[in-house]
Structure formats: C-alpha cells, structure tokens
Amino acid sequence: MTATTDGSTGAPPPRAAAASETDTDTPAAAGVHEAAVRATLRATDFLLSRQDPEGWWKGDLETNVTMDAEDLLLRQFLGIRDERTTRAAALFIRGEQREDGTWATFHGGPGDLSATIEAYVALRLAGDVPDAPHMAKAAAWIRARGGIAAARVFTRIWLALFGWWKWEDLPELPPELIWFPSWMPLNIYDFGCWARQTIVPLTIVSAKRPVRPAPFPLDELHTDPAHPNPPQPLAPAASWDGAFQRLDKGLHALRKAVPKRLRRAAMNTAARWIIERQENDGCWGGIQPPAVYSIIALHLLGYDLQHPVMREGLASLDRFAVWREDGARMIEACQSPVWDTCLATIALVDAGLPADHPRLVKAVDWMLGEEVVRRGDWAVRRPELPPGGWAFEFHNDNYPDIDDTAEVVLALRRVRHPEPARVERAIGRGVRWTLGMQSRNGAWGAFDVDNTSPFPNRLPFCDFGEVIDPPSADVTAHVVEMLAVEGLAHDPRTRRGIEWLLAEQEQDGSWFGRWGVNYVYGTGSVVPALVAAGLPAAHPAIRRAVAWLESVQNDDGGWGEDLRSYRHAKEWGGRGASTASQTAWALMALLAAGKQDSRAVERGVAWLVATQREDGSWDEPYFTGTGFPWDFSINYHLYRQVFPLTALGRYLHGEPFSRKRPGRPLAEAKGS
C-alpha cells in the first residue's frame, strides 16, 4: 500500500483493459436482455413504493458528522441543548468514527482534521470523557496533525464561540461588506449563493465576537496547550495570498477605528438582508449552514428565541433531522425533493411506465406547484429577466437553480398531463429564464450568471470549499439537452453552449463533473446532451468519450470513481469501486452514443442486474454527489435507484425522445 498526498492510504485500483466488442452473441449475453426486463420491473415497483402521497420523492441526503456536531454546538450556544437530542446525535457520531479514531467526510475517505475535531467536541458535550479509548485515539490523531491551530476557519469560528480559540486570530469579516455595490470587487454577489448566505450572517458574528462559557477545556487538542494560538506564517507579499493576508491584517487594525454607529448600521442592514431571505418554511436557502449562522447572528442582535423569525428558523432545523431505527439522529445539510422527483419521473418514463400513469401525473402536479415565480438574488445580475424555473428544495424561492430547471423541464416533457396548456406555460417560463441565465462564455453555472470573480477564493476566510459558481460541464450539458428537446438545438445560444462543451473536453476524452463524482458524471452528462443536440456518434468528441469510458470500466463490468479524482485526476480519474449510480451514468453515455450492442454495455447492464437487491433497490455506501469538489461530498440515497432504472430503461427502450423507440410500456408495474 502507498500513501497519497492527502494523507490517506491505498493506491488507486488497477485500470481495466478496454472492453472487447466481441462475444455479444454468447448465451450469457443473450440472457442479459431478459434479466434487464425483470430488474427494470422490480426497480419500477420499488421506486413507485417510495413516492409520497403528495407526489414527490426524497431520499436521505447524507454528508458528514460536522452537520451533527455543529447542530449540538448551536444548541449549546443558544442554551437549548436537551438530553434526547444530544444522546441521539452522539449515537450517530460515534457510529461514524473509524478504527484509527478519525472521522472522514466521505465513505472510505481519509480522516479529516476539522471533521474529527468537531466530532470530538460534540462527543465531549454528550459526556464522553477524554481518556475513553475512542476519544484518546481521536485526540492523539488531531495533535499529530497540528491540533486545533491547523483546522479550517469554520471549525475555529465554532470553537471561538466558546473561548476555545481567540477571535483576534481569525480572519476579519466586516459587516460593511453588505454596502458594497454589485460592481465593486468582493461585494456579496461575487460569492456563490451558498457562500453569500453564510458570509452575511458571519459578518455580524465576526463583529460581535461572542464568547459563551466553555463547559470544559480542550487542552488535549493543542500541540502546545501553553501556546494554543501559534502565529500563522505569511505568504510572500508579492503573491495574491500574501496580499490578502495583509489586507486581513489591515482590517483587524481598522476594526477599532470604525465608528460604532456606522458598524451598528451595517449590522442592521445585514440583518434586514437575512430576514428578507428567510423562506416560507423558516429556513434560509433550503440549506442548513446559512440557517445556523443566521440564527446565531440574529440572536446576537437581540432577537429572542420566541421571535417568529427565530422560532420558525429553529423549527426548520428540526426538519433536517433524520431519526433512525436505532435511535440515532442524522442531520441533512440540505433536502432534495425537486431534484429527486424530476429524476424519478425521468427514470420511470424511460423505463416504460405509461406517460399518463396516475403517479406520474401526481408528480407533475407537485412539480408545477414548486415553480419559482418571484425574483431572487439572481435578478441582481439579470434585472430585466422575468422569473421562472425550479429550486432544489421544498422551499427556496430566492435561489432557483439552472440544473434543476433543466431536469424538471425534461421530466415534464415526458408526461402526458391532462392540462397540457398549464404544463406548456411553466415550461415556457423555465426555458426563458434558463436562456437568460447564460454566462458570457456560452455556458451555465448553477445559480448565477458570470459568478467567476477570482477574488473571493483568495480571502483567508475562504479556506474550505467553493465560494464562487462558475459554469460547469454537467450543468451546461443538462441545459443543452433540455434546449434540444425543446427544438432549440440550432438556436445560437444552444450552439454556443455546445462549442463551450467541446472546448472543455479533457485530453483523455472525459469531462470534469462539478456536481457529481466526477469524470464519469461529467462524461455521462455531456455525451447524451451532445447527441440530443445533433452531434453524430462518429463525431471525434463522442468517439473519444466512448473510448475513455470503455478504458475505465472495472473488471466486474461496473464503473466507479473515487472522490480522490478531484485531487489526483491522473491516478483516480474514472477509477474506484463500482457503484450503481456511476455505472448508470457510464451506460447512459454509451447508449446515447449508439453502443447498445457493445460488450461494454452488456457487461455494465449485467453488473446492475447482478447487484440489484430482491426488493428492486441497490446498495451504495459510496458518495457520488458533490457539494464542493473534495471538500464537501454527498451520498444522495435516491441516486442508487433513479439512475440505474434510467439506464436499464434506455437499454431496453432506446433514447426517450428518439422517433424509433423499441419496447413496450411497463403496464405490469404495480402502484397504478
């Protein structure tokens, strides 16, 4: 075994040889089709059984234990931590600890210093003592990697709330940022929407610098408890990092000179900004981190816990909790009902469920009710653009996203709804909004237009994850596919998106995956889009993509890719244990490229059939979703169901919008 530069052990799995195009007429290959039919029927029944009576689907959204640890720390800070919640959270956190005493941020990944620190502190809150074997092992590992001083900024902010770290040793975030006009560098709209929603409340927290009495010391997590806050080394002044470090030092010095009246006015403006963006369900942006920091910030400004804004905000956090049968409590960072519902609808229709099936009509009714019809932050850059589109979550009218909108339109197009005019109007608004959100380079980001400023990533504060939202291949591909289905393949705006995609292809033939892991996801998104837009299978870009997918197919017939490909693309690109979702993405690309009869497709389908459970589902402990590449990974529990069903359906019935689509509807499916 070898050590990788990220501190993990283990070498990438050996590359499989490219799949042979021969032997497709063997008895084993001939039986794959019949087995696929049975697997598709089972998977259809399983997915229908998971639909909510209101018409939506939602799988658990699993991330890592920092969500659970920070939830406990929030409750401790507010004075509302109770025994039942603490016990349940601790049960979950302990269950995620690894043999070496650490906590990882994805299944099979290396131990993560900040996640391990936060989990350790949460267990201390729950009563676990430092000399317990599992705690001592974790503390020793933390010290060996630099202790608290080496943790990321967000972790040290949480510790500063209780005096376990000094506020003056954290980057400064002045609340006056809220007044920067949108044309000025480092204004809040230069940040991606998820970062923007977090930074605004944190400017209040940074200005207030609150400290609650610590319930215990954390000396065991410092390399030198006598000097817990060692000075941070400065980068060269001529470098960008060095320049921004010195800017931060200047802001620290300026802090004492800012008139109190001015600072108070800035914090009040920030508070109004926060409150205006609270959603109808009490949350902020439908995601947990901005909600947590918004609650802290407003509380520091005097909002008591019974204030309607605070009361509803805290209630919304409770809805992120998933209670398990063993009594453990897992916190979701976000919830994905719109995304899950449109993907489930696509999967069921592509698998052969009749287009007017009552369950599909119910799903469309629910999606139509989730359409965003008012302006959000995106209108800062597109003030003349009428609203439209869909968000990811149950309630998130401020931040519809382009990826969800494209996939919802593709789902709506598949269903025969009894009110077609109503569907057409919603699709029209969504397409118009999506076209209006095209960036200057011809591609699409997830939430905003041209959110590509180079400055936010340079801030000392931004040492974790993506804080901007540049265009990506996977989102652009989904938009191109949607526009092609809408008859706009030859529209100049679509052609610009296609040209951008072709220019973004990697040398090996793959595409980078921003929102899914990783090159398998990017390639699985782009190839079907290019084919839908009219590129022939013989196009060099398609041929190169097919060759790459065939070259990285695993010996067992499936496909997989480890998250380490985000850091070590050469060694890990397209390589990892086979998973149901990643195998499906590869198959969807190969099928779109006309490789239905290839040995690679046969082997991939056979792997899906062989790994399906008796109830029609698949297991998938691996994280194949991406929040921030490498830094924040997601296991969408419904991915393992919707994507394999989509791939099997297209294997049996062909591409969903092709004129010659073989096969027959799955009228035998239950749940009608």
Q: Amino acid letter at 186?
A: L
Collapse the DSSP code of 517 into the 3-class scheme (helix H, G, I; strand E, B; otherwise coil) and give the result.
coil
H or E stretch covering 635: strand 632-636
Q: Which phi and psi (to 5°) does residue 61 adopt?
A: -115, 100
Residues 312, 284 contacting (CB under 8 angstroms): no
AA letter at 470:
P
Torsion of CA 630, 636, 637, 640, to 10 degrees: -90
Report which residue type is found at 248: D
Q: With the C-alpha atoms ordered 163, 166, 172, 175, is the resulting torsion angle positive or negative?
A: positive
User: Which of 97, 94, 99, 101 has the alpha carbon at shortest distance from 72?
Assistant: 94
* Closest listed residue to residue 23, CA positions, set 598, 476, 579: 598
User: Is 642 in contact with 347 (CB distance < 8 Å)?
Assistant: yes
Q: Which residue has the tokens 């006598």?
A: 226
Report d(CA 319, CA 331) in Å as an integer. 9
403 catalytic residue (yes or no) = yes
∠59-485-502 over CA atoms, to 5°? 90
Task: Classify 633 in phi/psi space as left (phi over 0), alpha (psi -120 to 50) or beta.
Answer: beta
Between CA 36 and CA 309 the distance in angstroms is 51
CA distances from 598 to 15, 474, 523 (A): 19, 25, 18
β strands within 301-401, DSSP E = 321-323, 329-331
Amino acid at 338: V
Q: How far apart are CA 574 and CA 552, in angstroms?
A: 6
Q: Are 615 and 42 in contact (CB under 8 A)?
A: yes
- Alpha-carbon span 633 to 103, nearest angstrom: 14
Catalytic residue among 68, 112, 340, 403: 403
CA nearest neighbour of 637 among 650, 653, 620: 620
Q: What is the CA radius of gyration of the chain?
A: 25
List of residues 6+ apart from 487 with CB closer than 8 A: none
Cα(207)–Cα(196) distance, integer angstroms: 17
Q: Where are the alpha helices (DSSP H) in 209-324?
A: 240-254, 260-276, 288-300, 308-318
Catalytic residues, by residue number, are 403
